[in-house]
Amino acid sequence: MHRKTSSPLRTLATALARAALLGALFAGITAGAQTPAAIDTAAAFDNALVAYERNHWDSAYAAFTALADQGHPEAARLALQMWRHGPGLYRQSFPASAHQLARWSRVWRCGAKGEPLRACQLALQQP
């Protein structure tokens, strides 16, 4: 039986996506009761991770960018990762404007500081 081997870059991308999923799951567990909007956002992020793990790069990127535009820090990080490493990791480029990249970076930095999602969404309102 021939076993398909993964490239180191694909293995790294999968490991990063799994770490993001575990972080999202941990955040959901520790957050307690969630509003319907938070549940919808969590479900959308989970669906994006599923698309990512299935190598459906275009679908995953579209979902991550939509969530990043709404102020989701982990989605912003993954959208930035896909944009930055697209040609090397995913064998394709992903479009993003300079304005989007700047906003996603602000949202990601906000989330990296441990700020709640609402604070990160407010970061999007800054010029």
Flag whether 3 is in a domain.
no
C-alpha 2: how far from chain center: 33
- Chunked mean pLDDT (size 10), the chain, 127 residues: 58 62 50 65 95 97 95 94 96 96 90 72 65
Flag whether 85 is in a domain.
yes
- Number of compact structural domains in the chain: 1
The pLDDT of residue 19: 60
Q: Are 44 and 63 in contact (CB under 8 A)?
A: yes
Flag whether 75 is in a domain.
yes
Q: Phi-psi bin for 3: left (phi > 0), alpha (psi -120 to 50), beta?
A: beta
Give the SS3 label for residue 99.
helix
Flag whether 1 is in a domain.
no
Report the amino acid identity of residue 29: I
Flag whether 2 is in a domain.
no
The pLDDT of residue 30: 44
Domain hosting 87: range is 8-123
H helix runs in 1-127, sequence order:
8-31, 36-53, 57-69, 73-85, 98-112, 117-123
pTM, full prediction:
0.67
Q: 8 Cβ partners below 8 Å, 6+ apart?
A: none
Q: CB-hemisphere CA count at 13 Å for 63?
A: 19
Structure tokens at 6: 């993964």
